[in-house]
Amino acid sequence: MVEIDASKRLHSAEDDIKLRVSASFKRGDFVAFFGASGAGKTTILRMIAGLLRPDSGRIAVDGEVWFDSRERVDLPPQKREVGFVFQDYALFPNMSVEENLRFALQKGDNPSIVDELIETVGLGAFASRYPSALSGGQRQRVAMARALVRRPKILLLDEPLSALDHTMRSKLQEELADIHRRFGLTTVLVSHDPSEIFRLCNYVFKIEGGSVKKEGSPSELFVKERIGSSFKFTGEVLSIERCEMVYLLSVAIGTQIVKIMATKKEREGLKIGSRIQIVSKAFHPMIFKIES
């Protein structure tokens, strides 16, 4: 069980906001803090990691108190058993992949985990390369591996994939889900991308104006209307073409692009980039077996 109850006054460019977050989730959960930028999501991760001290509150993981303002407990980051992955990777440019991972080892750690993790993220052939000789996706894999060196209880991910292109992003999403399962982690993701949260997380906290406004499963949070049908996809409108009195929408759903007929009413209010939900009934799909 991870219990977070923390307050912190934040000073931003526009105005001061009071962050007051109360959230708890189970071990093994993959949770998301979702919200607009500037809502305080990253601050929450930093407070869990011990990189930022809450003004008041309590943070406990599996009954162990990491922070308690009344009891004056404040474990330093290195004692908190967290792995942190940042959006900009934060790798040491003057160290090879292997050295970046070794640097995270502490006295007494078994160094064989470094090779094991490099293999896990599929970078065995790149162990002696420097970050500058890697692609964005490879760099983020190194950052993920490095976050796991200390066998953390909690993996903290701060918009880890937002700098990557769509294909690489969905590939790394799969790898993240796999790592989460394989290492039995409790993972906390900060993201503003509902489709990413849908793919990865089993629980979401929606942050607005410095506090948790809503929480629940991704479908409870993002699917406003409850429809008695079976197929629901979230997509992004790429183009809108008029064809007689109807419209053809090109919609990106995952890595696929599909064309969908929309009536004038359905098209209203949509523009390029709009996020839409597509619903189809269970009776519609035709099924073709793929011969292997």
Partner 1 sequence: MNRLKGKILAIQRSGELVRADIECADTMLTAFVMGSAQEGFLEKEGSEVWVLFKESEVALAKDFSGQISLRNRFEGRIESIERAELLAQIVIRYGEDTIISIISRRACDAMELKTGESVTALVKANEITLMEYS
Told to check if 287 binds partner 1 by CB under 8 A, we report no
Cβ atoms of residues 31 and 187 within 8 Å:
yes
Torsional sign, CA 239, 240, 242, 246 = positive
Q: Cβ closer to partner 1: 151 or 242?
A: 242
Query: CA angle, 126 as apex, 161 and 107 as ends, to 5°?
Result: 85
CA distance 173 to 201: 11
167 binds partner 1 (CB under 8 A): no
Nearer to partner 1, 128 or 219 (CB): 219
Q: Is 270 in the site for partner 1 (CB under 8 A)?
A: no
Judged by beta carbon, residue 65 or residue 279, the one nearer partner 1 is 279
Cβ atoms within 10 Å of 286's Cβ, excluding its own: 4
Rounded Cα distance, 141 and 162, in Å: 14
Does residue 279 interact with partner 1 by CB under 8 A? yes
Q: Which is nearer to partner 1, 66 or 198 (CB)?
A: 198
CB of 226 to partner 1, least distance (A): 4
Cβ 227 to partner 1, closest distance in Å? Answer: 5
Does 244 sit near partner 1 (CB under 8 A)?
Answer: yes
Spatial separation of the C-alpha atoms in residues 161 and 231, rounded to whole Å: 27
Instruction: Decide: is 18 part of the binding site for partner 1 (CB under 8 A).
Output: no
Return the number of the residue (11 or 265) whose C-beta is nearest partner 1: 265
Please, are residues 261 and 247 in contact by the beta-carbon 8 Å criterion? yes
Q: CA dihedral defined by 103, 105, 106, 107, rounded to 10 degrees? A: -100
Pairing of strands 73-74, 64-68: antiparallel
Q: List 189's β-bridge partners, or say none.
A: 32, 157
Q: Judged by CB, which is closer to partner 1: 170, or 277? A: 277
At residue 229, the 3 state secondary structure works out as coil
Cross-strand bridge partners of residue 84: 156
Among 37, 93, 271, 283, which residue sits at the site for partner 1 (rule: CB under 8 A)? 283
Closest CB 280 distance from partner 1, rounded Å? 9
According to CB under 8 A, which one of 103, 261, 272, 285 is a site residue for partner 1? 261
- Closest distance between partner 1 and the C-beta of residue 224, in Å? 9
Residue 37 to residue 122: CA distance in whole angstroms: 32
**Interface positions, 224-243, toward partner 1 (CB under 8 A):** 225-230
Total binding residues for partner 1 by CB under 8 A? Answer: 17
Q: Minimum distance from CB of 39 to partner 1 (Å)?
A: 26
Q: Which is nearer to partner 1, 14 or 244 (CB)?
A: 244
Instruction: Work out whether 265 is an interface residue with partner 1 (CB under 8 A).
Output: yes
Among candidate residues 46, 147, 52, 48, the one with its CA nearest the CA of residue 91: 147
Question: Which residues of this protein are in contact with partner 1, per CB under 8 A?
Answer: 225-230, 244-246, 261, 263, 265-266, 279, 281-283
